[in-house]
Structure 1
Amino acid sequence: MTLGILLIALLVILIGAETFTNALEHLGERLKISEGVTGSIFAAVGTALPETMVPIVAILSTASTQAVREEVGVGAILGAPLMLSTLTMFLVAIFAIHKRGWQDDFHPERSGLTRDLRWFLLAFGLSAVAIFVPHHVAWVRALLALSLVLVYFIYLMLTIRASASLVADGHATKAGEPLFLVRLMGRINVPENLFTVLVQLGMGLAFIVFGAHGFVQGVEQLSAWLGISALVLALLIVPVATELPEKVNSIIWIRKRKDTLAFGNITGAMVFQGSLLPALGILLTPWEPRREVMAGLVLTIVASAYVLFMLRRGNLRPVHLFFNGFCYLAYLITVLI
């Protein structure tokens, strides 16, 4: 029964991801914005919102004990950037190799990807510093939380400002296929306009959210049978169940050689998840240095800094991202053995 729920939920998520990415490309084309903005802001935030609710609900709800709620909240907050910077990057490489070969270079818009990684490392670095601030020094923790919110606001402004010049340089978002909703309703001549695009966008996101919810239920049943602690469960299972399925968008785009959209969807979500949610964790949870937490912080920063280094060093290829997969494996070994 549990396996059936997982498979059905995954199918729903795949349908939703295809519908969402198709509509998103048309929206970006109509608004005349760059692929960087479409991937790093629209796609990243749009698909990150469902799993963002997990730590918020965990921290603010009255379900279970306070200790368990805080562990789930911290695990979900830190687990998403960890998974995005390690496992998701590795999976992108795997699917790129299958479609494009081992030595085929990625061609994302470099300035946007570099900006995403730099601002993520700044935000996540501040989150790491906050872990060592004693609880009784509340004003320092509050200042760090406010700084994280400010970091994301500045990042948004810089990303949007860069869009106009990128469009002029040929990096405008272009839809590769007709709008699915128009093609599906062809017999009744549904017009392809902004309203239709937004309707399909909402439909795709609804499928993703519904599928992710079912996926979480199936994984939770499986994890209960395995007997995993609340913090480890949140760090490992929650991000994989809620965030990874929605990053199917990046796999779809990488197979279509839309590298800017594919990487922007990942790194943009990293900035979002690595700034605003840790601000909540710093203010409302213990946010203290435990072995599982410290291992996740260090490996996330190492994996992200490595991608930035390889990008600045020269060409970024699928084989390079195997290192990110090894970082995720190292984390599994650290917390499970």
Structure 2
Amino acid sequence: MLKDLFVKKRHYATLPSAVKSSERDQKSQSVPEKDIPKGLVEKCDGCGALLLGKELQKHDFTCPHCDYHFTLGADRRIRLTLDEGSFEEWDASLTSVNPLHFPDYDKKLAKAQEMTGMREGVVTGRGTIAGIPLAMGVMDSRFIMGSMGSAVGEKLTRMMERALAERLPVVLFTASGGARMQEGILSLMQMAKTSVALERLHEEQLLFVTVITHPTTGGVSASFASLGDIILAEPRALFGFAGRRVIEQTIRQKLPDDFQTAEFMLKHGMIDEVVHRKELVHTLANILTIHSAKGWKHGNGT
């Protein structure tokens, strides 16, 4: 049945066919980077092409030449995913403190807040996809590498508890370097706390979908990111616990070049499907529609 969820249907604008790829490449790389105003043009980390911001936006911030998926902030991800104007944020003011008095942690938090305009590394709330209500969380790797501290774990737990109370399915976009070391054991405790909250969702037969984005590692990959009823991932997203170098030094073996990529994880049964960003909304709408039709939306499924 799962194979039917991932039927590809593209509904997005593309470049005119009359514009050849070689011409696009020439145009995109003809202007020196130093002469380009910030934000007007972005350089693709996949193929090195220089892309106009408007072109990137038209392609959902993926490279039209090599399909490289640019990193998305939480605000942009929400706009791309949810029905326009449907998002209602929860717990927006919640933020971490410095419980262990870690040196300069307060300054690091303040800098991340100023740079991103966020209070913490995850945004949670309620919205709709194709008119279907859901609870959604989006982790943001720009905020201290999306690390999971006490506030991130608390916001995710509250989101799950509220979804349980309102009988909502949950979709969570993950992006994280793991537990936040500045909070020590308190950050590691969030792995267990979020997992317990998820177990309550499972007991009540409410849907939980995780979407793995680049990168998802450490304690996040070892807890809620791997506990979805359905686990999707964007192409080439890094998904794993320890880093390649640590593992190779431990086992004294060379790992495959594609180790810990979304495609590698799909091949080895760790995720259900790799979905291009342009296909994600359609795929999630399919999943939520089937979920609602089966009655699971109200906890009546089998």
TM-score normalised to the size of structure 2? Answer: 0.24
> Which structure carries more helix by proportion?
1
TM value normalised by structure 1: 0.22
Answer 1 or 2: which has greater strand percent.
2
